[in-house]
């Protein structure tokens, strides 16, 4: 394994679109959503441990989740669990690991990946990542992995790329558009030359830091001032000063849409971001009426194309529904049309306003 290769597994999100199974105190990355015997973060760790040195695997999460990470990943060095003092989206998260690694190894070649994605074809995924690492080791590039879209999803970023390759299966990005509205997403699908952004990025840390300096200069400045305190006992104190000054912005909006050295690798490795109940529906095995059911005591009668999740301690009888999401937990029952899944995040916000944090 190459000692310059690193992975930052981003595990600080609360997964609000996956409510009510995903909760603030125990979000979806720590759940075994697919009943495979491993949680999403454990499966992600397993995937990267095949080709990244163990000492180069980092988890970036919230301080709130540190003990959960320690419990679920006892094989990881606790020093490699990086705790953000507050949630400031992916730009700050990636800045943190990048400036930290720059002090440790200026030649670090870094993959940044979410903790909660599903990858079914591990060998293909490994090869794609290794191809990306090889490319970024030779080119001052910011690389993202792209997935061929099969429907106009408004929850993903879209990538349009040049028709000629810059290297084998690596293409210069023409347009990087983060989460378009439905009409624009339909236009992208019709054109046939757009990919979904998988949210998995590869670059040398020195090149992403240059991008921060150019495109997010205020964030660059606050990290740069404190950089000599990273990897010392004063790192946590430095973060307490840094994070309040960071804008809340994704790496997609902050850098990838604006940078001129962005490349994409069109990929096919059985990817799903498992960001919504519908994406889980698309993944889970279905009955002859198209119902995807998790839970040992669910009875479905005259119902079709539903996503049903329930615990094993209660009998759930579902009759007559078509194309719904039904999620039953100990304290919440969600019944929602599948076509409205992107609005679950708004429902959570309304519940917070009207009911407080009790059910979140």
Q: What is the pLDDT of residues 270-308, one digit of tens each?
A: 888 877 888 888 888 899 999 999 888 999 999 999 999
- 67 CB-near residues (< 8 Å, 6+ apart): none
In sign, the C-alpha dihedral spanning 319, 320, 322, 326 is: negative
Q: For residue 340, count other CB atoms closer than 10 A to its CB.
A: 13
What is the phi/psi pair of residue 344, to 5°?
Answer: -60, -35
- Residue 181 is predicted with a pLDDT of 84
Task: Yes or no: say if 289 and 270 are a contact pair by the CB < 8 Å rule.
Answer: no
Q: Domain 5-272, what fold?
A: Spore Coat Polysaccharide Biosynthesis Protein SpsA; Chain A (3.90.550)
> Nearest-CA neighbor of 260 among 323, 332, 211, 304?
211
Which residues make up the CATH 3.90.550.10 domain(s) of the chain? 5-272
Residue 76 CA to residue 41 CA, distance in Å, equals 12
The secondary structure element, H or E, covering residue 170 is strand 170-177
Q: What is the pLDDT of residues 39-48, one digit of tens each?
A: 999 999 999 9
- Residue 16 is predicted with a pLDDT of 78
∠ CA 64-348-339, nearest 5°, is: 125
Beta bridge partners of 118: 272
What is this structure's pTM? 0.89
- Using the predicted structure, report yes or no on whether residue 34 has a pLDDT greater than 80: no
């Amino acid at each position: 394994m190459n000692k310059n290769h690193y992975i930052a597994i981003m595990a600080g999100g609360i997964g609000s679109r996956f409510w009510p199974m995903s909760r603030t105190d125990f979000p979806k990355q720590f759940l075994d959503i697919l009943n495979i015997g491993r949680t999403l973060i454990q499966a992600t760790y397993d995937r990267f441990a095949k080709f990244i040195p163990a000492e180069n695997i980092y988890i970036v999460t919230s301080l709130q989740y540190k003990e959960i990470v320690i419990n679920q990943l006892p094989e990881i060095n606790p020093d490699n669990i990086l705790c953000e003092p507050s949630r400031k989206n992916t730009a700050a998260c990636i800045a943190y690991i990048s400036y930290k690694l720059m002090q440790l190894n200026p030649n670090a070649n870094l993959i940044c990946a979410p903790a909660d994605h599903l990858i079914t074809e591990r060998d293909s995924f490994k090869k794609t990542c290794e191809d990306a690492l090889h490319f970024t080791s030779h080119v001052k590039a910011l690389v993202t992995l792209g997935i061929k879209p099969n429907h106009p999803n408004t929850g993903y970023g879209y990538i349009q790329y040049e028709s000629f390759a810059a290297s084998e299966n690596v293409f210069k990005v023409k347009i990087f558009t983060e989460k378009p509205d439905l009409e624009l997403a339909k236009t992208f699908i019709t054109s046939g030359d757009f990919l979904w952004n998988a949210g998995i990025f590869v670059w040398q840390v020195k090149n992403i830091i240059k991008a921060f300096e150019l495109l997010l200069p205020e964030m660059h400045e606050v990290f740069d001032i404190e950089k000599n305190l990273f990897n010392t006992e004063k790192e946590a104190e430095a973060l307490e000063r840094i994070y309040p000054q960071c804008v809340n912005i994704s790496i997609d909006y902050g850098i990838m849409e604006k940078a001129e050295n962005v490349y994409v690798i069109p990929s096919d490795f059985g990817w799903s971001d498992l960001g919504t109940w519908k994406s889980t529906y698309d993944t889970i095995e279905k009955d002859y009426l198209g119902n995807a059911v998790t839970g040992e005591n669910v009875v479905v009668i005259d119902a079709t194309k539903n996503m049903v999740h329930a615990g094993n301690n209660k009998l759930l009888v579902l009759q007559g529904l078509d194309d719904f999401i039904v999620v039953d937990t100990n304290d919440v029952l969600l019944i929602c049309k599948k076509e409205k899944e992107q609005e679950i995040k708004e429902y959570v916000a309304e519940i917070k306003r009207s009911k407080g944090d009790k059910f979140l």
